[in-house]
């Protein structure tokens, strides 16, 4: 690790919440960086300061919980907490690469252009994904390896085997990850991914308009029957874009690697 870990990463390390390899990277950096060593020492000092009265504070908390009025308590039968098994750490900053807009696409039965009616590629015999691009009046299904141009509008259609959650992300050649779906801002109190209410096919709303960045880019569609975090999605997208087959947290994924080229390029 050549760059400073963020202060929050040092806090995660102190909590023991980093994966072993990440923790080892942080340790290696801290060993040679006085600034980070000082930050880590400060974090530990504050923690020790609190530990001196933690038992008393915990007793105060438990007493408050015992006396908690009814409105503090959630209704019976409410949803259980769900985690997806991914450590919370940062990823490289992502560039802004696309916007979601409404672009009219041809539908089945409205002419000869390819439609988004039939998924192209199934994954693990379960989720299927189709990406349709529109360039001017021309509309075509995107295949892995295709060349896409700035201004192309992409539309995503997914077929899922059961109700669940999906997210669509983009990973650029440099590793920067951006989220296409769900669109921002995500409702912070609700599960982050898009909810799909039932099995079957869905076309995602709006279209992604490609910017003029060039080079390889991978579009990743993720599905899970249970909610997953944005962080988990970003990790999975990075993993799958690098050829990983086993995705963490029970996520299922499908990747399309394309080339973004100049207008009229090869």
Smallest gap, in angstroms, from Cβ of residue 120 to another protein? 27
In angstroms, rounded to a whole number, what is the distance separating the alpha carbons of residues 100 and 51? 48
Q: Which whole-number Å values give the CA distances from 54 to 1, 49, 50, 60, in the listed order?
A: 34, 9, 6, 10
Residue from 127, 139, 171, 192 in contact with another protein (CB under 8 A): 192
| Interaction between residue 1 and another protein (CB under 8 A) | no
Question: Of the listed pieces 55-63, 133-141, 151-159, 256-264, which binds another protein according to CB under 8 A?
Answer: 55-63
The β-bridge partners of 159 are 128, 201
23, 227, 257, 261: which one contacts another protein (CB under 8 A)? 227
Instruction: Report the residue number, 53 or 107, with the smaller CB distance to another protein.
Output: 53
Q: Taking CB under 8 A as the rule, does residue 102 contact another protein?
A: no
Angle at CA 238, nearest 5°, toward 208 and 257?
Answer: 50
CA angle, residues 110, 111, 116, in degrees to nearest 5: 70
Q: Please tell me whether residue 101 binds another protein under the rule CB under 8 A.
A: no
Which of 24, 27, 28, 48 binds another protein (CB under 8 A)? It is 48
Site string (73-92) toward another protein, x via CB under 8 A? xx---xxxxxxxxxxxxxxx
Beta carbons within 8 Å of 25's beta carbon, 6+ residues apart? 1, 5
In the complex, what is the shortest distance from the CB of residue 103 to another protein, in angstroms, rounded to a whole number? 20
DSSP 148-174: EETT-EEEEEEEESSSEEEEEEEEETT
Shortest Cβ 100–another protein spacing (Å): 11
Tokens for 51, please give them.
């530990």
Q: Which residues pair with 208 in a beta bridge?
A: 100, 154
For position 251 contacting another protein by CB under 8 A, the verdict is no
Is 172 among the residues that bind another protein (CB under 8 A)? Answer: no
Collapsing DSSP to helix, strand or coil, 48 comes out as helix
Where does this chain touch another protein (CB under 8 A) — which range of 141-149, 155-163, 174-182, 255-263?
174-182
């Amino acid at each position: 690790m050549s760059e400073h870990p963020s202060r929050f990463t040092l806090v995660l390390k102190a909590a023991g919440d980093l994966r072993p390899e990440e923790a080892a990277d942080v340790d290696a950096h801290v060993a040679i960086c006085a600034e980070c060593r000082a930050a880590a020492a400060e974090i530990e000092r504050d923690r020790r300061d609190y530990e001196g009265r933690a038992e008393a504070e915990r007793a105060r908390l438990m007493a408050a919980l015992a006396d908690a009025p009814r409105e503090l308590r959630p209704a019976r039968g409410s949803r259980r907490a769900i985690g997806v098994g991914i450590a919370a750490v940062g990823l490289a900053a992502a560039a802004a690469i696309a916007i979601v807009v409404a672009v009219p696409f041809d539908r089945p039965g409205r002419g000869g252009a390819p439609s988004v009616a039939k998924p192209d590629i199934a994954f693990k015999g379960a989720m299927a994904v189709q990406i349709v691009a529109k360039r001017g009046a021309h509309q075509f299904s995107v295949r892995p390896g295709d060349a896409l141009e700035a201004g192309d509008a992409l539309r995503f259609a997914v077929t899922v085997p059961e109700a669940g959650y999906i997210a669509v992300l983009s990973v650029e050649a440099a590793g920067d990850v951006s989220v296409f779906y769900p669109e921002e801002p995500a409702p912070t109190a609700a599960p982050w991914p898009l909810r799909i209410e039932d099995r079957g096919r869905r076309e995602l709303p709006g279209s992604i308009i490609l910017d003029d960045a060039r080079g390889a880019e991978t579009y990743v569609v993720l599905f899970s029957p249970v909610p997953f975090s944005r962080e988990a999605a970003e990790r999975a997208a990075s993993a799958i874009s690098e050829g990983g087959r086993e995705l963490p947290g029970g996520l299922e994924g499908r990747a399309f690697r394309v080339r973004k080229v100049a207008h009229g390029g090869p």
